[in-house]
Homo-oligomer: A and B are copies of this chain.
Amino acid sequence: MVASLVPTEDEVMLRDAARGFLSESSPVTAFRANRDAGRTHDPALWKEMAQMGWTGVLLPEEAGGSDMGHRAAGILAEEMGEVLAASPFISTAVMAATALKGAANDRLAGIASGDAIYALALDEGSKHNPARTGMQAEKSGNAFRLTGRKVFVADGSAANRVLVLARTAGTEGEAQGLTLFDIDAARAGLTRSAKRTVDERDHAQLDFDAVEATGDDVVGEVDNGLAAVATALNAGRAALSAELLGVSAGAFGMTTAYLKERKQFGRTIGSFQALQHRAAHLFAEIEITASAIANAGRVLDEDPDNADIAVSIAKARATKTAKLAVSEGVQMHGGIGMTDEFDMGFFMKRARVGAEWLGDYGFHAARVAAARGF
């Protein structure tokens, strides 16, 4: 690895800019407003992100992108996580942008401009597991007919395009025989039903009933879709890990602030050693996870084809750290932390959904173990 895990000046500037923008345009109060209004994300914010160039963070300049790379994408995701900014950033600007790297610039330009919102329709069960994809894509002439159900599709309602993984050969559980399609979300036979999840984000169930797809819709090679989506998935997992690091930092920041201000038994509660040690332990966990996040971005930028282990370490660590940060957050706040009026619950809910999306702790732990030879 060439790059250092310490952020470069450019990365520090990017972070400051992102933080400045988000504190203006998307503080946690904005998320609450969306929630209260029943909005899973704010299209206006998405447009602004596009104007900031965030949608093009992974796109080549020819396609209107800034090509800043995965570490930069992680910095943006982390900052969004810290204020719970809801947007299709990971689905579109990270995963779709990575999956379509090879595609024509006009298609990428749609992502850069913010006009295209992508959803990745992959899981079919309650646990993330790409190889278990069973949805059928029947060959008929030189077209395909997609039939089956996809669940837990992030940004599935807002999306105007869908990347969907379906089986053109082989049987459920086999890594081979899958094909990745890039289709219009309005295509006939595709029904989308929004699901209300605790994080109040956009998660939908997609039902495909003989949805037509042509050879032009295929991304990568037929029957080799897992390869076509592999790096996109790793990119998404790394960005999600970064978001979860932001969620941890956001919850931790609220908690330490509260520990310094709240008084009880005539003392600031932050002076109780038992709470101090738990806070210090949490700080250590966050620092270690931050290293794993920085490393995942570095490996994706420098050696994307061998990023599985780095990405899985990041996602496993981020999942566990966020869980600890939000539980300590609620517990140390006491009753107030339990009220909807207070923001801590939002962090806890996002951490839970983020723990499941794109692979839970066990999924990523297994990938690490495999890579380490046991």
Contact = CB atoms under 8 A, between A and B. Distances in A.
Contacts of A274: 273-274, 276-277
A273 B277 CA distance: 10
What's the interface size class on A, roughly? under 10
Nearest to A277: B274
Contacts of A276: 274
Which of A272, A273, A276 has the largest count of B CB atoms less than 10 A from its CB? A273
A273 B273 CA distance: 5
Interface in A272-301: 272-274, 276-277
A273 B276 CA distance: 10
A276 to B, nearest CB: 7
Contacts of A277: 274
A277 B272 CA distance: 11
Which of A272, A274, A276: most chain B CB closer than 10 A?
A: A274
Interface string A256-279: 000000000000000011101100
A206 B280 CA distance: 51
Contacts of A273: 272-274
Contacts of A272: 273
Interface string A28-46: 0000000000000000000
Interface in A74-113: none
A283 to B, nearest CB: 15
A328 to B, nearest CB: 14
Nearest to A272: B273
Nearest to A280: B274
A331 to B, nearest CB: 13
Nearest to A271: B273
A127 to B, nearest CB: 16
A227 to B, nearest CB: 36
A276 B277 CA distance: 12
Closest 5 CB pairs of A and B: A273-B273, A274-B277, A273-B274, A274-B274, A272-B273
Interface of A: 272-274, 276-277
5 contacts: A272-B273, A273-B273, A273-B274, A274-B274, A274-B276
